[in-house]
């Protein structure tokens, strides 16, 4: 009997298993954790953002340098097709004010339960606490489980092992040296959608009083190593060691790459993006009478809380009392970022199996019958539904590729 193995129980692996089971094959799905979809569930803890409703060209652009590799996957399984698939599980969706798409109840667990039920009904056998260790000398899949190590022969394999972020949930990147040892080219795994440390760290006062506080409505700009200027508006947050949050995550790839090339990157924060420089200067110059500087800036320029703390952190007393220098800092406050936070803290990771080593069906060119999908591939994207959409789409593509491979070999046997 034909043996099909899917290794990894995240969205990519589950989608590959579904395609293969629907194609009429017995599928065994293995995962190292005690339960399936742990990272998927945690990602949905604050509201399950499945995908985004923006036009396809804008959507594809979110994958940056890897857009050309992701395009055929999304052409075959688009965000709208993903929503239809979710509706087929009995889960309703809605589009939020930001264009992001969510399940109606905002939760990941009901979707995962319905999906696992359908997979089991289709005959997929799920094996938890099975850590993949690579291949045996005779080409069998090598696993460790509580009862001990064992080997399984498979006619086709889909690897959907995740990246290296959130290792406690199963994505620890341990697969990278296993594939590299078989001659597979793997781009180094790096943090993506992550925070960054400021050079020299924060003062004890700022760290103890304002770490975790948001910087609402700011704009950030910087110039990367190639001389390109990046500019974006949004919300960010002070952390114990630097800065993080959605605005930083959206720019994490060029920030990380600039630090890698130059050793650090200087970002300029506009703390009052709705006001022109002349307006800010006029407000700062307005007579404040007996009011403190903090009260004056709060009432005249909307600078309060973490924003005020950041100004006090970055400027000397003399600069704070110089209206021209203070107004300039409010509109263009320099922060030197020295390093991304460790990959274990990142929302996702970049790097992985290079697309050049895969055929059009995501099969490893040097390992017939072995397919790769999900975050273990060499791509990255910002949060906002883009990560999950590409994981679903690549799992679908790898599953279909494995299905075609098995059909072809069955026809030629």
Nearest-angstrom CA–CA distance, 247 and 235: 6
For residue 55, being part of any structural domain is answered with: yes
Instruction: Identify whether residues 226 and 320 lie together within a single domain.
Output: yes
**Of 395, 265, 398, residue with least CA distance to 338:** 265
DSSP letter, residue 52: E
Under a CB-based contact definition with an 8 Å cutoff, are residues 131 and 144 in contact? yes
| Residues contacting residue 65 through CB under 8 Å, at least 6 positions apart | none
Nearest-angstrom CA–CA distance, 321 and 309: 15
What's the pLDDT band for 408 if we cut at 50, 70, 90? confident
According to the model, what pLDDT value does residue 413 have? 59
Residue-wise pLDDT for 329-378, tens only, equals 999 999 999 999 999 999 999 999 999 999 999 999 999 999 999 999 99
Under a CB-based contact definition with an 8 Å cutoff, are residues 327 and 187 in contact? no
Whole-structure pTM value: 0.92
Instruction: Identify whether residues 184 and 52 lie together within a single domain.
Output: yes
Give CA angle at 134 (174, 403), nearest 5°: 105
Say whether pLDDT at 43 is over 90: no
Tokens of 85: 């698939």
Nearest-angstrom CA–CA distance, 201 and 215: 18
According to the model, what pLDDT value does residue 10 have? 95
Please count the residues of the chain.
413
Under a CB-based contact definition with an 8 Å cutoff, are residues 399 and 19 in contact? yes
Chain Cα centroid distance, residue 331: 30
Nearest-angstrom CA–CA distance, 403 and 21: 9
Sheet holding 131-135, edge to edge: 131-135, 141-145, 148-152
Nearest-angstrom CA–CA distance, 139 and 96: 48
Average confidence (pLDDT) over 239-247: 95
Instruction: Identify whether residues 185 and 94 lie together within a single domain.
Output: yes
Nearest-angstrom CA–CA distance, 71 and 389: 12
**Separation of first and last alpha carbons in the chain:** 13
Radius of gyration of the chain (CA): 25
Domain encompassing residue 226: 196-340
According to the model, what pLDDT value does residue 162 have? 95
Instruction: Identify whether residues 97 and 16 lie together within a single domain.
Output: yes
According to the model, what pLDDT value does residue 30 have? 98
Instruction: Identify whether residues 397 and 318 lie together within a single domain.
Output: no
Nearest-angstrom CA–CA distance, 246 and 240: 17
Quickly tell me which residue has 């903090």 as its tokens: 294
Instruction: Identify whether residues 164 and 119 lie together within a single domain.
Output: yes
Residue-wise pLDDT for 168-223, tens only, equals 888 899 999 999 999 999 999 999 999 999 999 999 999 999 999 999 999 999 99
Strands 4-7 and 27-30, by their bridges, are parallel
- CATH number for the domain harbouring residue 389: 3.50.50.60
Say whether pLDDT at 46 is over 80: no
Instruction: Identify whether residues 371 and 293 lie together within a single domain.
Output: no
Check residue 32 and give left, alpha or beta (phi > 0: left; psi -120 to 50: alpha): alpha
For residue 36, being part of any structural domain is answered with: yes
Instruction: Identify whether residues 181 and 206 lie together within a single domain.
Output: no
Tokens of 128: 């938890």
For residue 355, being part of any structural domain is answered with: yes
Give me the percent of the chain exceeding a pLDDT of 90: 87
The mean of the pLDDT values for the chain is: 94
For residue 345, being part of any structural domain is answered with: no
Nearest-angstrom CA–CA distance, 102 and 200: 40
SS3 218: strand
Instruction: Identify whether residues 160 and 12 lie together within a single domain.
Output: yes
Instruction: Identify whether residues 41 and 77 lie together within a single domain.
Output: yes
Residue-wise pLDDT for 222-231, tens only, equals 999 999 999 9
Residue ending a domain, choose from 340, 364, 391: 340
């Amino acid at each position: 009997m034909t043996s099909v193995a899917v290794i990894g129980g995240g969205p990519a692996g589950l989608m590959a298993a579904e395609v293969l089971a629907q194609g009429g094959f017995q599928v065994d799905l293995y995962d190292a954790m005690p339960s399936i979809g742990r990272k998927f569930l945690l990602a949905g803890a604050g509201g399950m953002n499945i995908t985004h409703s923006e036009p396809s060209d804008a959507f594809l652009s979110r994958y940056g340098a890897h857009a050309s590799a992701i395009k055929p996957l999304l052409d075959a399984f688009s965000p709208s097709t993903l929503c239809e698939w979710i509706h087929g599980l009995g889960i309703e969706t809605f589009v939020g004010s930001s264009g992001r798409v969510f399940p109606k109840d905002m939760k990941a667990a009901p979707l995962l339960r319905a999906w696992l039920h359908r997979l089991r009904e289709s005959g997929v056998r799920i094996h938890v606490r099975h850590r993949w260790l690579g291949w045996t000398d005779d080409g069998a899949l090598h696993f460790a489980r509580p009862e001990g190590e064992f080997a399984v022969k498979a006619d086709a394999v889909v690897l959907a092992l995740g990246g290296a972020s959130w290792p406690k949930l199963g994505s620890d990147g341990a697969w990278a040296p296993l594939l590299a040892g078989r001659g597979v080219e793997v781009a180094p795994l790096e943090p993506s959608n992550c925070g960054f440390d400021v050079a020299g760290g924060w003062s004890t006062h700022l760290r103890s009083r304002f770490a975790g506080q948001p910087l609402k409505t700011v704009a950030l700009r910087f110039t990367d190593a190639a001389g390109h200027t990046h500019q974006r508006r949004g919300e960010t947050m002070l952390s114990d060691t630097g800065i993080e949050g959605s605005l930083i995550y959206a720019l994490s790839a060029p920030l990380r790459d600039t630090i890698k090339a130059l050793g650090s990157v200087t970002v300029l924060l506009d703390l009052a993006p709705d006001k022109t420089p002349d307006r800010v200067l006029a407000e700062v110059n307005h007579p404040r009478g007996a009011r403190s500087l903090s009260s004056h800036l709060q009432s005249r320029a909307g600078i309060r809380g973490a924003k005020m703390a950041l100004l006090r952190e970055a400027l000397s007393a003399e600069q704070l009392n110089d209206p021209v220098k203070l107004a300039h800092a409010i509109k263009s406050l320099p922060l030197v970022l020295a390093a991304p936070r460790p990959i274990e803290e990142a929302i996702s990771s970049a790097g992985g199996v290079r697309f050049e080593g895969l055929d059009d069906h995501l099969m490893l060119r040097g390992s017939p019958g072995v397919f790769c999908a999900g975050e273990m591939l060499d791509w990255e994207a910002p949060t906002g539904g883009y990560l999950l959409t590409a994981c679903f789409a690549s799992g679908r593509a790898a599953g279909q590729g494995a299905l075609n491979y098995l059909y072809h070999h069955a026809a030629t046997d």
